[in-house]
Amino acid sequence: MTSRPVRITNPLGLHARAAARFVHAAGAFASQVCVAFGPRVMDGKSIMGLLLLAAAQGSEILISAEGPDEREAVEALCQLVVRGFDS
Amino acid sequence: MKLRGLGVSPGVAVGRALVFRQRTFDVRCRVSPEGTERELARLEQARELSRQQLREIRDRIARSAGPDHAYLFEAQLLMLDDPMLVDRAAAFIREDRLNAEWAVRRAAEELTALFDEAADPYLRERRGDVADVTGRLRVNLRPRSAPTEILRGVEGPLVLVADELAPSTAAQIDWRRVIGFATDVGSWTYHTAILARSLHIPAVVGLHDASARILAGATVAIDGTTGDVFVDPSSGELEQVQAQRTRQAAAERALDEYRHLPAVTLDGVRVRLEANIELPDEVAVARAHGAEGIGLFRSEFLLVRAAGMTPIAAAEDAQYDVYRSLVERMAGGRVTVRTFDVGEDELYPGSGAADTSRGVLGLRGIRLSLAHRDFFKTQLRALLRAAGHGSLRVMFPFVTGADEIRAARAVMAEAAEELRVRGASPPPVPVGIMIEVPSAALTADLLAAEADFFSVGTNDLIQCCLAVDRTDDRVSRLYEPRHPAVLRILRLVSRSARRSGIPLALCGEMAADPGTLVLLVGLGVTELSMVPSAIPLAKQVIRGLRADDARRAAGRALRGRTVADVERAIETVRLDGVSIQEGSNS
């Protein structure tokens, strides 16, 4: 399993549009993806799960992946968060 | 469009179609292990349909308002594929065997609760998106609009068109707004048909695919007497139906004077006219129409399971109360109770047999009762107890031979013995059989030694004799009471009964039709039981008839080779005061 923490920078946090982009990106990988924020851990391919994390701007989330392409997945998803979900 | 079914509750109703597909409606139920695959497939179909719709919406919004505004529907598309929704629902189907609607509802409830818990106001707003998606899924799970929604926007009286109508559903319907119903499935003894008759609501059943062919909101005219269903009728057809209604009302008024006159032919032959009923409350109707007794009490109503209630048949005391009230309300008039004549699916609903139509040749009637001995004995104990309060006879349905009569009598003897052990002293009760299978008719002389009386059930006898399933509209026109084979079999039974000195009665629609009624009198059948409303007309026919003429007509009919020959023989009979043609119109 590969994990890496990353801070959310975009003003609206992990809202619907950001979560949608994240799920799209996560869906491109074969690995299982998890996102943890505080005590909660959610499926990184579940838009509702990500929304329910309610991670606002400045929150630090932990992205984990397990599977054949776990390194690439974590790398790409962290980049997406850092770029402010390309919005 | 005109459809033809089986009229099971007389009268005419014209209204807007309210289409109710119970099988696909948002009902909650558990499915069989085999049924889960179907539910999963339906769920997947609904998801695919929802996906297509959301993509269309997204693309339209993107074109008209710009791609930035379309993202919400992109999010909804992702929700549709979210493991927390459809996959979760699928797990409910697989693990808890919920139907798809229920599974989606439960998954949605879980999600809603999660979003409600969230402190973040933004998240609580997202709840609306979740509800939007789950709502879309649910709508796509049902192929037609929900009847309750249609009810709101529709004016005027409604005719319910349903694939099937469970008694528990029927009980929830406002029968002041819904003035008649038509169903795809069903038969004369269909529970809901029985309820329709008790509610005096016109009903046609056995329409096969009416609920798929009739669109909600269409004007529908049903005739519960003929079984005709007109969809968006022409003014001519509407007039025809209205005329039928007027004719029925007029005929009923004209016959009022006959209700309480004895049924005696011009040459002094006394005919006993009794009523076929299925509910204890109908005793009043039977008496008001001049019935001398109850010739056939169809006890199946006692098996009806109203919502959340155990059927009356489950308890001896409850059954006893019904039978006792029957004989008491007939005040001395004879009551003949037929033991349960149902298929196994009706005895044990949910056994999986409900989808297959009740086979004419299957496990039913006395066969089923003998296979469920304790259940049967409970009914017999209740009957024996009720026999102490009036004139009661017991009759076994669908008997095919002497062995069955002996076996049934043995159960009856056990039931009587059990009552004696309790300290009761059950009176002797006449035990008869229905003659409704050709084997029973052909051996009537042998069975006469085993039974105290016969009652010919013409509806089933004709079906079995002519190998015609009346509910199959491809062959139902071959159902013909005037078929020479039917007359011969009736002559045989009548002769066997006369020579053996055993009382013979006949119940069935043949008794209610003036033409065949004449033949029956001519064949020497002088105890007839029919729907209560047919009794006044039967009295009028009998009071205008010479039994000698009827005998001659029957002789001529028996020499006929075709149905047309039989009809010509009937037409030779002159009635005093009424023509047979005139009579058979009403």
Each residue's pLDDT tens digit, B187-218: 665 667 777 876 778 999 989 888 888 876 78
Whether B120 shows a pLDDT value over 90: the answer reads no
Whether B275 shows a pLDDT value over 90: the answer reads yes
Average pLDDT over residues B59-68: 81
Average pLDDT over residues B579-584: 48
Average pLDDT over residues B579-586: 46
Identify whether residues B298 and B330 lie together within a single domain. Answer: yes
Per-residue pLDDT at B459: 87
Identify whether residues B406 and B315 lie together within a single domain. Answer: yes
In a domain, B465, yes or no: no
Percent of chain B with pLDDT over 90: 48
Whether B56 shows a pLDDT value over 50: the answer reads yes
Residue B65 banded pLDDT, cuts 50, 70, 90: confident
In a domain, B570, yes or no: yes
Mutate to test the interface with B, among A12, A22, A24, A52 (most CBs of B within 10 A): A52
Whether B308 shows a pLDDT value over 60: the answer reads no
Identify whether residues B137 and B204 lie together within a single domain. Answer: no
In a domain, A55, yes or no: yes
Identify whether residues B238 and B263 lie together within a single domain. Answer: no
In a domain, B462, yes or no: no
Identify whether residues B78 and B163 lie together within a single domain. Answer: no
- Give, for B18, the enclosing helix (H) or strand (E): strand B12-20
In a domain, A87, yes or no: no
Per-residue pLDDT at B180: 93
Residue B356 banded pLDDT, cuts 50, 70, 90: very low
Per-residue pLDDT at B99: 75
Residue B351 banded pLDDT, cuts 50, 70, 90: very low
Residue B266 banded pLDDT, cuts 50, 70, 90: very high
A23–B78 C-beta distance less than 8 A: yes
pLDDT one-digit tens code per residue, B411-423: 999 999 999 999 9
Split into its structural domains, chain A has a count of: 1
Residue in A closest to B114 by C-alpha: A52
Per-residue pLDDT at B241: 85
| A24 CB within 8 Å of a chain B CB | yes
In a domain, B583, yes or no: yes
Per-residue pLDDT at B582: 43
Split into its structural domains, chain B has a count of: 4
Residue B113 banded pLDDT, cuts 50, 70, 90: confident
Average of per-residue pLDDT values in chain B: 85
Cα dist. B428→B251, B370, B392, B396 in Å?
42, 21, 10, 16
Residue in B closest to A17 by C-alpha: B71
Average pLDDT over residues A55-60: 90
Average pLDDT over residues B527-547: 92
Identify whether residues B353 and B219 lie together within a single domain. Answer: no
Residue whose token pair is 């979740």 = B130
Average pLDDT over residues A40-68: 92
Per-residue pLDDT at B146: 42
Name B13's Cβ contacts closer than 8 Å, sequence gap at least 6: B157, B159, B179, B180, B201, B202, B221, B222, B224
- Give, for B451, the enclosing helix (H) or strand (E): none
Residue ending a domain, choose from B396, B429, B462:
B429
Identify whether residues B51 and B18 lie together within a single domain. Answer: no
Residue B314 banded pLDDT, cuts 50, 70, 90: confident
Identify whether residues B67 and B106 lie together within a single domain. Answer: yes
In a domain, B439, yes or no: no
A48–B82 C-beta distance less than 8 A: yes
In a domain, A51, yes or no: yes
Identify whether residues B303 and B171 lie together within a single domain. Answer: no
Per-residue pLDDT at B31: 67
- Based on the residue annotation, tell me whether A15 is a catalytic residue of this protein: yes
**Complex ipTM over 0.85:** yes
pLDDT one-digit tens code per residue, B163-191: 888 665 676 677 778 899 999 887 665 66
Whether B470 shows a pLDDT value over 90: the answer reads no
Whether B353 shows a pLDDT value over 80: the answer reads no
In a domain, B468, yes or no: no
Contact B258, B539 (CB under 8 A): yes
Whether B519 shows a pLDDT value over 80: the answer reads yes
Cα dist. B491→A16, A71, B458, B513, B558 in Å?
83, 92, 13, 18, 9
pLDDT one-digit tens code per residue, B366-410: 999 999 999 999 999 999 999 999 999 999 999 999 999 999 999
Name chain A contacts of B70, Cβ cutoff 8 Å: none
**Of the listed A15, A20, A47, A72, which one is catalytic?**
A15
Strand B228-231 with B2-4, pairing: antiparallel
Residue ending a domain, choose from B141, B173, B202:
B141
A45–B85 C-beta distance less than 8 A: no
Whether A7 shows a pLDDT value over 90: the answer reads yes
In a domain, B40, yes or no: yes
Mutate to test the interface with B, among A22, A32, A41, A47 (most CBs of B within 10 A): A47
Q: What is the rounded distance in angstroms from the CA atom of residue B388 to the CA atom of residue B428?
A: 9
Per-residue pLDDT at A45: 94
Name B557's Cβ contacts closer than 8 Å, sequence gap at least 6: B482, B484, B487, B519, B522, B565, B566, B569, B570
CATH number of the domain where residue A21 is located: 3.30.1340.10
Average of per-residue pLDDT values in chain A: 92
In a domain, B444, yes or no: no
Identify whether residues B115 and B86 lie together within a single domain. Answer: yes
Average pLDDT over residues B72-88: 91
Residue B344 banded pLDDT, cuts 50, 70, 90: low
CATH number of the domain where residue B304 is located: 3.20.20.60
Q: What is the rounded distance in angstroms from the CA atom of residue B106 to the CA atom of residue B98?
A: 9
B118–A52 C-beta distance less than 8 A: yes
| Three-state SS at B524 | coil
Identify whether residues B423 and B322 lie together within a single domain. Answer: yes
Whether B145 shows a pLDDT value over 60: the answer reads no
A17–B71 C-beta distance less than 8 A: yes
Residue in A closest to B70 by C-alpha: A17
3-state secondary structure labels for all residues of chain A = CEEEEEECCCCCCCCHHHHHHHHHHHHCCCCEEEEEECCEEEECCCHHHHHHHCCCCCCEEEEEEECCCHHHHHHHHHHHHHCCCCC
Identify whether residues B92 and B125 lie together within a single domain. Answer: yes
For residue B59, the enclosing domain spans 35-141
Per-residue pLDDT at B143: 53
